[in-house]
Every structure is written in C-alpha cells, then in structure tokens.
Amino acid sequence: MTYTTSPPRRFSAIAAILVVAALTIAVVALALIVPHNGSVGTATTAPSTTSLGPVSAPLSGTTAGTPGTPGATSAPAAPHFGYQPLWPFTSVTQARAWQQEANPGGHQPWHLDAGLVTQMFTQQYLGYPNVDKILRTDVRGDQSWVSVGFDNGEGSTTTAAVVHLVRIGAGADRPWEVVGTEDTTLSLTTPGYGSAMTSPLTAGGTVTGVDESLRVQVRGGPSPQQPVGEVSGIPAGGTNAPWSVTIPLHPICPGTFTVAVSTGGHVARVEHFAVTGVHC
C-alpha cells in the first residue's frame, strides 16, 4: 500500500502570505512610476544661466535695447548686447532701426566701417579735431580695436587712443558701436564702466607724463552736442600718477553718457584720451 503525505497547513499559510506581500510591493512600485494622469512623466531641468564676465569688458547681465511692456504683443526682444553702448547708437533697438532703413538704399554706410566710426566719434562727437589719423585697425570677429592719432610735427605720428568697438544689432550687416578705450598712458577707471551716473560725478584714473593738463567732459543724453558737465585745467604728472576731479552735472535722464578725459598742450591740443560709459 502506498501513502501520500500532504504538507503541513502552516507551510501553506506562509506561502499565501508571501504571495500577497509580493503583489502589494508590485502595486506600490507601479503607483510610484506611473503619474496620476496615467502617462509616464519626463524629468525637466531648468536651463542654466550664464553672465558675461568683467573697459571695455562686457557688462554682466546687461541687455541693450528698449524693454518690452508686460502682457503686450510686440516685436521680438532686442538681442543681448553685453557692453555699454556709447556712439553712434544708444541701444540695440536704435541700431536695428538703422539696419532696416539702410538695407534698401545703403543709408549712412559709414556705420559698417570701424575706422570711419572711430574717426567720427573722435573728431565730431568728442570734439578732438586734431586727432585725424587712423593708424591701425585690428578686427577680430565682432570686435575691433582702432588706433587713432595725429602728426606730432617730427615727421611721425603719435597714437592718442585705442578705441574699442563691437558690432551691434541683429543678423547680417550689423553696424559698429564704440564701447570704450583700451587705456595705457592715460586711464579713466572712475566711474566704473556701465555704472549709474550721479551728480556731482567723480572721475579719476592714472596718467604718465610731465606737466599734464587734463580736461574731463561728460557727453550724451538727448542733447549730446554740448557736454552736460566739464572741468579743464586739471594739473597732473608723473608715472602712473593718480588723478581725480569732481564734475557738476546737469543731465537730462534717462540716457547713456560718455565720460572722456584728454591731455595735451605739448605738441597738440589733444595728445591722449580715454573714455568710459555710464547711464542714468
């Protein structure tokens, strides 16, 4: 006779408990994976933001142009411009308007020539007519450094400044914009590049030379033909000697302004100059 033996009841109960536990874990895991709307979600990462680093160095987080009105429907926002625009435009929006006008008939084509822009900025805007020579133009992509100077009366020329320009606007044929100078013999370190202008304005820097007589002027705003502040006859001299002056202002805000310092009188009215940009 053959006998069959059934497993004890306690083993059957344990097996049932294990099955229920496994099912419970599976349900919980499925609930964690599948969103409540029944579709599998996709993780999103917020876009990273970058800012341009530190004259004429780029300004951090600066956008040149006219800000839009919240909720309004308008043209696309002006492209980012990381420098303080000085001349001939005061914003990206203004530069783009020139691009739209220029394309059909070539209106004011000198905007596309870094040397001509620098020469007009120096002679017409700053009022340094004797600085009439373009000595060197160094174009590197969307940036340019133009050396301007004058005949020194000894059969050669002297560099008065190296003007820094950057293309401004959008798309092809972006015009050149003066954004500052690369300073050596004469520097302008105060006020800070791209800072807010206050009145009176304190300007300062260093100069190398003998018996220098500095002139500081502030130009810009709605009427750039006349300085909104000017002090001349500032004595200075030495090697990298500091200079400083306080300038009373009568600006009409808002606007962008050019602070310019010049020295001369030995062989020419203006022998060296430097500029920086502020706003109010």
The residue ranking higher by pLDDT, 66 or 139, is: 139
Q: Which amino acid is at 78?
A: A
Alpha-carbon span 27 to 276, nearest angstrom = 68
Cis peptide before 191 (omega within 30 of 0): yes
Q: Is the distance from CB of 204 to CB of 244 less than 8 angstroms? A: yes
Contact 249, 201 (CB under 8 A): yes
- Flag whether the pTM goes above 0.85: no
Is 71 a residue whose pLDDT tops 90?
no
In percent, the amount of the chain with pLDDT more than 70 equals 71
Provide the mean pLDDT of the chain. Answer: 79
Q: What is the pLDDT of residues 225-255, one digit of tens each?
A: 889 999 999 999 999 999 999 999 987 888 8
Task: Decide: 160 and 131 in contact? Cβ < 8 Å.
Answer: yes
Q: CA-CA distance, 29 to 23, in Å (whole number)?
A: 10
Contact between residue 127 and residue 142 where contact means Cβ atoms under 8 Å apart: no
